[in-house]
Amino acid sequence: MPNTQDLENICTQVRRDILRMVHKVNSGHPGGSLGCTEFLVALYYTIMERKDGFDMDGLGEDIFFLSNGHISPLFYSVLARNGYFPVEELNTFRLIDSRLQGHPTTHEGLPGVRIASGSLGQGMSVAIGAAQAKKLNNDPHLIYSLHGDGELQEGQNWEAMMYAAANQVDNLIATVDLNGQQIDGATDDVLPMGNLKNKFEAFGWTVTVIEEGNSIEAILEGMAEAKSKTGQGKPVCVLLKTVMGHGVDFMMHTHAWHGKAPNDEQLAIGLAQNPETLGDY
């Protein structure tokens, strides 16, 4: 199992992948991808119990669903670096007929992708259904999901949250990327959501807060705490406080890079701040 320094080195390479993918096609969403890099790296390399190979049923292993599908550059990089498909395929990001579309889809049969996502607000419902299927199959493994904070402005999430609590879906850990930014500005300026911890708890969930969401050590500790709270009759929410654009100084703390690609000069600056660690594709 990789140690903390190994995971940090992987994060550096994944950030390079994100920047290069989005720059090549002048399209994509680097901000949220960079902000969630530590989380997804920790999840796939350490936290989740995974079996060899990939199949759509996911029996006998933990399953992850990406609800905020616009951060696909991160998802694709982590999947490729974990051997789901060749790293070289990252070169095809957002190209016509590529399996690596701007938002993950299933009809191309890309290993690691179980649902089409990016139509925000739907991932919570899917994750809850998958968690119930695990129980019906007597599979003790967990469902993990990731959601944007702005995404919670979609009402379907709250219906799903009520359902999960009412049906004691306690094998689900839903993580919210709490970066305070969305495509049109700060979430508090677009549609304030108040105290999310209090709201999730009022809806019958158990909540863990990770204050340093871009720290590998904090993520590993916080997710271990969240896992310890499963199986107790309540679904579990993790509020992950991240910085949008983390690791590239001019992209941090602003919604401006939610869906904007760096130019040649900006790419060079970003790559210089993230020296190659595993080899580019």
C-alpha distance from residue 162 to each of 26, 169, 201, 234, 266 (Å): 40, 10, 11, 11, 44
- 237 - beta bridge partners? 174, 207
DSSP code string of 89-137:
GGGGTT-TT-SS-SS--STT--TT--S---STT-HHHHHHHHHHHHHHT
DSSP state, 44? I
- Distance CA(15)–CA(156), nearest Å, equals 31
- Predicted confidence at residue 150, as pLDDT, reads 95
- Identify the band that residue 236 occupies on the pLDDT scale cut at 50, 70 and 90: very high
Mean pLDDT confidence for 72-99: 97
- Predicted confidence at residue 108, as pLDDT, reads 86
Mean pLDDT confidence for 140-153: 97
* CA 272 remoteness from chain centre: 25
- Predicted confidence at residue 183, as pLDDT, reads 87
- Predicted confidence at residue 118, as pLDDT, reads 83
pLDDT reading at 107 higher than 90: no
- Predicted confidence at residue 19, as pLDDT, reads 98
- Predicted confidence at residue 1, as pLDDT, reads 82
- Distance CA(44)–CA(32), nearest Å, equals 18
- Predicted confidence at residue 81, as pLDDT, reads 98
pLDDT reading at 120 higher than 90: yes
Q: What percent of the chain has pLDDT over 70?
A: 100
Q: What percent of the chain has pLDDT over 90?
A: 96
If 0-12 CB within 10 Å is exposed, 13-18 middle and 19+ buried, where does residue 254 land? middle
144 conformational bin, left if phi > 0, alpha if psi -120 to 50, beta if neither: beta
Q: What is the CATH number of domain 4-272?
A: 3.40.50.970
pTM more than 0.95: yes
pLDDT digits (tens, 9 = 90+) for 64-82: 999 999 999 999 999 999 9
- Identify the band that residue 262 occupies on the pLDDT scale cut at 50, 70 and 90: very high
- Predicted confidence at residue 121, as pLDDT, reads 93
Domain ranges of the chain: 4-272
